[in-house]
Amino acid sequence: MKTRTLGNSGLAVSALGLGCMGLSYGYGPATDKQQAIALIRAAVDRGVTFFDTAEVYGPFINEEVVGEALAPVRDRVVIASKFGFDLPQPDNRQVLNSQPAHIRQAVEGSLKRLKVECLDLLYQHRVDPAVPIEEVAETVKALIKEGKVKHFGLSEAGAQTIRRAHAVQPVAALQSEYSLWWREPEQEILPLLEELGIGFVPFSPLGKGFLTGAIAADTQFDASDFRNVVPRFAQEAREANQALVDALKTVAAQQNVTPAQIALAWLLAQKPWIVPIPGTTKLHRLEENLGATEITLNAADLRQIEQALAAIRVVGDRYPEEMQKRVGR
């Protein structure tokens, strides 16, 4: 497995990480614990060294699974987690809280569940407008000095917030959505990250599964699947967005690879400090995703993809209105 360094932080990780959320949360019933542990360990065996979780995934369950799975190989892996919510809420609402005392409480919980003495990368999960980002950065800076955290990250933060945080405590990585069907970060965020020397960790690099080609207009999701409330996954949106998958399939066929592999290889080709974190519950999908690291898209390939997609307008917002208000702050 090739490695990449997240910006100027010196934090070296596998070129693809594993997003562990879907093993416990978001996409239907949680995977059986032992099966989830087996998948994470299979990723380690195949060279993955970067694992992403958060206290809110479950809540708490995912950190426990990741901690147990990685305990035997702790010295070989980088574990990222996140704070930023009051948990748990009786109705599963997500209430923002990045007060300094709460950050410390969240970190202590994550350390315990993950069975580690130090978090390699700690993200603020969503920007909390009630707490100045400077206070958040100062708190994480103190945790780094105390040896409980190694690197500071932000998730779905806006450009000015990133700049302000970075001035207090260098930000190692930004985690936000980025893929062939969500390219907004190219406008302002990617140039800023390059300027400041911050790595980029795209989540949902396969469009929450849509770019794999395995989801059709009539696909039925489990009642607890988050995609049921995502406008982009409404049936009419899926019908319209199939054109994007069809274009990917054409390119993939020419290279004798899969649409998912083209989507991931395209992300890897954008910048050397981009590390996508696709998630899966299936071993064959894990292996398919990792195969993308062996694909090199040249300038002609990238032009072909750009031209194929230029005429396609993606239909549907990526979040319901209430969730959309929390991103890009």
DSSP 8-state code for residue 47: T
Distance CA 305, CA 109 (A): 44
- CA distances, 280 to each of 19, 83, 199, 208 (Å): 8, 23, 23, 10
Active site residue 178: no
Report the DSSP pairing between strands 119-124 and 149-155.
Answer: parallel
Catalytic residue among 25, 57, 123, 178: 57
CA dihedral 252, 255, 261, 267 (to 10 degrees): -90
Distance CA 122, CA 27 (A): 24
Q: What Rg value do the Cα atoms of the chain yield, rounded?
A: 19
Backbone angles phi and psi of 316, in degrees to 5: 105, 140
Task: List alpha helices for 146-281, DSSP H.
Answer: 159-168, 189-196, 235-255, 259-270
Distance CA 241, CA 227 (A): 15
Structure tokens at 294: 């062996």
Q: Which residue carries 């032009």 as its tokens? A: 303
C-beta separation of 289 from 278 below 8 A: yes
Distance CA 267, CA 201 (A): 10
- CA distances, 245 to each of 205, 206, 207, 313 (Å): 14, 11, 10, 12
Please give the positions annotated as active site.
57
